[in-house]
Each structure stands twice: as structure tokens, then as C-alpha cells.
């Protein structure tokens, strides 16, 4: 039996536990998944400066995210359908985040509603994610529900004017267009995962989209839900349309999906307290650069105007440290906690977050640092800098 020590271990366990359709939904990206791969590759382009003989007996990994204390510069990113990965998955994940002392962001398209998560995990730092939807009235009502439930930070996702083409989802029939033989294969795949069947379809009822129950009363099937969501994405929205967000949301506002300096400045102009440098985990515009690659320019431009987060490819404490050196105030992490949730529920997510805290602490120690605030760009070496040092050494 595998004892998970890293995100890749949790991924292996999740692949064993989940039906193929759900694993591919969690694991996959858009088109050829080039940007998905680039998100991870970008972190490997940076080496740490190792410093020795420093007093690192006490290392502090804590920080402040939008005015609230956090044990790590980490936010559990919004993930649609998390409640299909494990029984009442969003509640379990939020519980793990509360124990670890990091914020949990609930997706609009989660299985568990804002009311259920807030009631079951009252001590969590809860964020709520909203898409740009055509139905402004429904959006305003949903924002009011989230605020009244106790969510004080809104993550507004702006990079889904249209849903990216995800080949894995097409192959697995997520669009509902399946032949009879394909439906048989799909049913056999579901039946071939008895642990998941017992945990989620049988033990995790009701499997409805909690936040959208009034809008999609028939949304018990992924196909119904997907059709409604696609019909609600509004490709006509511009920055000038976002005044209604501030009119309907009194809390902190984060704009997620920023990949250009000009868009970051526009987010600041509409009153964002933070931006998330994000290509949607490689699930939207395949061929876009890695989020980490464009982070430094954006962070430098909006420094002092808002906080800057980054997501896409974040899998370890070492990734957190690299991102902070390049200008981020924190990172959002999605797939890794999804793998852990599928593999072993809340306990596995707690173990994952404990591992990330330890990785962060150890990395700081071996860099000769005792706190996150001591990090800067000078603590990293690019590939070209490493090569130049090698030439000098030769």
C-alpha cells in the first residue's frame, strides 16, 4: 500500500479511486494540454540560492492574506464538482483548510452549498468564487447568500467568456453525446470503482449543485449542469460592467484570471483588493504562457496597489517559496487537494497541507531564511544565471 509523500502519490491514489470521467475532469486541461504542462515546467526553471551557517533554529511560515492571518501563503483554490470526488467533498476540504490555518475557496459549481459549508465548518476562513453569469439577479442573490453565510472574500473569475475545449471531457462524454456502446463502457467504468460508489453516489447524497439548486432544478446530471453553465457564461462582459459587483459585495474582492499587466491595472481600477495571476490551470486558453512566467511583471506593476496571488502548477512548499521570491503574496492550489480528497478524504487533505508546511519550512531553512518576508528575487537563480556561474567556475 502506497504511503503518500507527495502530490504525485496522491494523484496515483486518486486515479485508482475515481471513475475515469471524474479523474480526467480533475487532472486534465484544454486542447493539447501544452499550457497545463508549462505551468509545472515554469517552476523547474528557477533554482534556489543555498545559504549555510545561518541561525535557522526558528522558522516562521505564517503570513497575512487580505488582512487575515494564515499559517502559509496558500489558499485552497475553487474547484467545481469537488463533492463528486469524495462524500460532501467541499465540507471535508474546508475542514482540512481550517485545521491547517489556510483559506478555503468554495466554487459556485460545488456540490455543497455556501450554507452547508459555513454551517459544518464554522471556524474556517471561507472565500467564495463566482463566474461572470448573464443572470445578474441570480448572481446578486448568490452573493447575498454567501455573505450572510459568513463568506467575506469574493474571488471573481473573469477568464471564462467561453468554456475551454477539454478533449478528455469530450472523450468521456461530459458533453452528453454518447453512443449506446459508449454509455455501456461508462456504466461499467462507474461500477468498476466500488469504493467511490459507496462513498459518493450512495453515501454522499444529495448530489445536486448546492448553490445552483434553484436555477438548475433538473441539474442532477453533469450534462444538464454543463448545458446551463455554458448558457450562462457572458462573452459580452467588459471591465465597465463590473460596477454591479461592488454594489452587491461589501467584502474583499479578488479578480482571478489575470495574465497581462494592463488587465491587472484594470482590476485595480474597479476596486480589486487582489488579483490572481492565472491561466485557469491550463483549462482555458491552451498555448498561453505559464502563470509563473508572467507573475514578476504583473507583481511589479501593481505593487502597493493590491495583493498578488498566482495559481497553475503549484504543488509543493518549494513552489510557494519560488512564487514569493518572484513577487507573489500567496498561491492558490487546486488539483493537489483534489487528488488528496479523492484518495482519502479530509484526513488526506490535512496530511497534504502538513507536508506543504514542512516543505516550506525546510526550504526556507536551507536558504538561510527564517521568515517569508525575507524572500526576494535575489534568492533565486534562473537557468541562464546558473549556466553563467558554471562558466565562471570552469
Query: Is 193 in the active site?
Result: no
Q: What is the 3-state secondary structure (H, E, C) of 109-134?
A: CCCCCHHHHHHHCCCCCEEEEEECEC
Residue 199 is given by DSSP the state: I
Is the link from the previous residue into 206 a cis peptide, with omega within 30 of 0? yes
Spot the catalytic one: 252, 280, 283, 357.
280
**Gap between the Cα atoms of 265 and 268, Å rounded:** 5
Angle among Cα 174, 179, 180 to the nearest 5 degrees reads: 115
CB atoms closer than 10 angstroms to residue 11: 22
Per DSSP, the residues of 21-41 read: HHHHHHH--STT-HHHHHHHH
Burial class (CB in 10 A: 0-12, 13-18, 19+), 44: exposed
d(CA 96, CA 124): 9
> Rounded distance, CA 298 to CA 275, Å?
9
Alpha helices in the chain (DSSP H): 7-17, 20-27, 34-44, 89-100, 114-120, 136-149, 167-171, 180-191, 194-197, 222-232, 243-248, 261-269, 291-301, 317-325, 335-366, 383-393
Pairing label, strands 74-76, 330-333: parallel
d(CA 89, CA 346): 8
Cα–Cα distance between 22 and 308 in angstroms, integer?
A: 31
Find the Cα–Cα–Cα–Cα dihedral 121, 66, 359, 46, rounded to 10°.
140
C-alpha 80 chain-centroid distance: 10
Active site residues: 280
Amino acid at each position: 500500500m502506497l504511503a503518500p509523500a507527495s502530490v504525485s502519490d496522491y494523484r496515483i491514489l486518486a486515479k485508482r479511486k475515481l471513475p475515469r470521467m471524474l479523474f480526467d475532469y480533475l487532472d486534465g486541461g484544454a486542447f493539447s494540454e501544452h499550457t497545463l504542462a508549462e505551468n509545472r515546467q515554469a517552476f523547474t526553471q528557477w533554482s534556489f540560492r543555498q545559504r549555510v551557517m545561518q541561525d535557522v533554529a526558528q522558522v516562521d511560515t505564517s503570513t497575512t492574506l487580505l488582512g487575515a492571518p494564515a499559517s502559509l501563503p496558500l489558499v485552497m483554490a475553487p474547484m467545481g464538482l469537488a463533492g463528486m470526488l469524495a462524500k460532501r467533498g467541499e465540507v471535508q476540504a474546508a475542514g482540512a483548510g481550517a485545521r491547517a490555518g489556510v483559506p478555503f475557496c468554495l466554487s459556485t459549481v460545488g456540490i455543497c452549498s455556501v450554507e452547508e459549508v459555513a454551517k459544518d465548518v464554522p471556524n474556517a476562513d471561507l472565500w467564495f468564487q463566482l463566474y461572470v453569469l448573464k443572470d445578474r439577479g441570480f448572481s446578486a442573490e448568490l452573493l447575498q447568500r454567501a455573505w450572510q453565510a459568513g463568506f467575506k472574500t469574493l474571488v471573481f473569475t473573469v477568464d471564462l467568456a467561453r468554456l475551454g475545449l477539454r478533449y478528455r471531457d469530450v472523450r468521456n462524454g461530459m458533453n452528453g453525446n454518447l453512443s449506446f456502446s459508449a454509455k455501456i463502457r461508462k456504466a461499467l467504468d462507474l461500477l468498476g470503482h466500488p469504493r467511490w460508489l459507496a462513498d459518493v453516489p450512495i453515501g454522499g447524497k444529495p448530489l445536486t449543485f448546492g448553490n445552483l439548486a434553484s436555477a438548475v432544478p433538473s441539474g442532477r446530471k453533469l450534462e444538464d449542469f454543463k448545458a446551463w453553465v455554458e448558457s450562462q457564461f457572458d462573452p459580452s462582459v467588459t471591465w465597465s460592467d463590473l460596477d454591479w459587483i461592488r454594489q452587491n459585495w461589501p467584502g474583499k474582492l479578488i479578480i482571478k484570471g489575470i495574465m497581462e499587466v494592463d488587465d491587472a491595472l484594470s482590476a485595480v481600477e474597479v476596486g480589486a483588493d487582489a488579483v490572481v495571476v492565472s491561466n485557469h490551470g491550463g483549462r482555458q486558453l491552451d498555448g498561453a504562457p505559464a502563470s509563473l512566467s508572467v507573475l514578476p511583471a504583473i507583481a511589479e506593476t501593481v505593487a502597493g496597489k493590491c495583493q498578488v496571488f498566482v495559481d497553475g502548477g503549484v504543488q509543493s512548499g518549494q513552489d510557494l517559496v519560488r512564487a514569493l521570491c518572484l513577487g507573489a503574496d500567496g498561491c492558490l492550489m487546486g488539483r493537489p487537494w483534489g487528488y488528496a480528497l479523492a484518495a482519502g478524504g479530509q484526513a488526506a487533505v490535512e496530511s497534504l497541507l502538513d507536508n506543504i508546511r514542512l516543505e516550506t519550512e525546510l526550504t526556507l531553512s536551507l536558504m538561510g531564511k527564517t521568515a517569508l518576508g525575507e524572500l526576494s528575487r535575489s534568492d533565486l537563480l534562473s537557468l541562464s544565471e546558473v549556466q553563467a556561474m558554471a562558466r565562471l567556475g570552469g
